[in-house]
Amino acid sequence: MTLLKQNLQDAVKSEGTGGQTQATLDALDQGTLTVSDPTNGASITAWDVYAASEQSTTSKTADTIPTSDWNSYLKAHLQRGSDATFVKNTDGSFIDKVIGNEAYFG
């Protein structure tokens, strides 16, 4: 998590604060960033190792997620516009139509 935060901070320095990287860093700082690895079937809520409430956190239990059929998942979860493309926020994130969260795939 230390490397994740450092990489995000470095990217914000070079990209500026208006994009997806800043939104991701903000979500990490707010404790709302979920990182998913569909290849290994794991999803975890990221934590800021520098936050006072997380000082003793060294790991968290990951949730199990599917490792296949991601096309169906994306069709079910991402909001589409009138032209059938996935809708993006101004920061470049997608909108999860099921729960309203922002999503980024990269």
Q: Alpha carbon of 14 to those of 2, 8, 17, 19: distances in Å?
A: 19, 10, 9, 11
Nearest residue to 18 (alpha-carbon basis) of 87, 93, 94, 101 = 93
- Its pTM stands at 0.70
Q: Total structural domains in the chain? A: 1
User: Which H/E stretch holds residue 8?
Assistant: helix 2-15
List the pLDDT tens digit at each of the 106 positions of the chain.
899 999 999 989 988 877 788 888 999 999 889 888 888 889 999 999 888 888 889 889 999 988 888 778 777 778 888 888 888 888 778 887 777 777 766 5
Domain that holds residue 29: 2-103
